[in-house]
Amino acid sequence: MAKPRRSVDWGFPRWRGYEGGREATTVRLCDRHGCDEPGECPAPKAPNSPERWMFCQKHAAEYNQKWDYFEGLDKAEKAARTKAEQSENAGYAEAQHYGWAGSGDGSRSADEMRALDVLGLEADADFAMIKKAWREKAKEVHPDVKPGDEDAAKAFQAFSLAYEVLKQAEERREWRG
């Protein structure tokens, strides 16, 4: 009598490889006549209908190419619908103050922009310019140059902190690659 073969997954079927299962997978094909690609993109069969066509990406793009959201509406209805949608999405416009909102390409954070302002530099300054500006400003107000001057000490701390913020940001950029 043959001994039953022991399973290699020890009761944990997820340990099997991807080809471990032998059952067939169901693939829905594109609903476009003659297309053999998988149909993964739903498209409505009619307005306000729950029924959907299932197209491949190529045919879904073709299906939606000339679709007009405002089709069949007169100018007043178009304006009313546009205004209603803008008021529904107003929260996104109000939240813009949380993001970076200075000049430039958006690669610098708000802290970096404040540090550049302290050093008197533009948003597109490279690190060599930052270092040069920091050295010049720090030499003017260094505690050894102006001993006992409270304002100079505060200015030196501000310049040093601004340089440290920009230096760490530059190191992060280099680390990311």
Provide the CA 138 distance to its chain's centre, in angstroms.
37
How far apart CA 53 and CA 66 sit, in angstroms, is 17
Look at residue 98 and tell me whether its pLDDT is greater than 60. Answer: no
Task: Among 2.30.110.10, 3.30.365.10, 2.60.40.420, 1.10.287.110, name the CATH number for the domain at 110-176.
Answer: 1.10.287.110
Closest-CA residue to 143 (of 131, 128, 160): 160
Per residue in 32-74, pLDDT (tens digit) is: 889 999 999 888 887 777 888 899 989 988 888 877 777 788 8
How far apart CA 58 and CA 173 sit, in angstroms, is 38
Per residue in 105-139, pLDDT (tens digit) is: 567 888 888 999 999 998 888 899 999 999 999 99
Q: What is the mean pLDDT of the chain?
A: 80
Look at residue 142 and tell me whether its pLDDT is greater than 60. Answer: yes
Torsion on CA atoms 132, 134, 137, 141, rounded to nearest 10: -140
> What residues contact 102, with CB distance under 8 A and at least 6 apart?
108, 110, 113, 123
Is 17 in a helix, a strand, or coil? coil
How far apart CA 124 and CA 115 sit, in angstroms, is 13
Sequence spans of domains, the chain? 26-69, 110-176
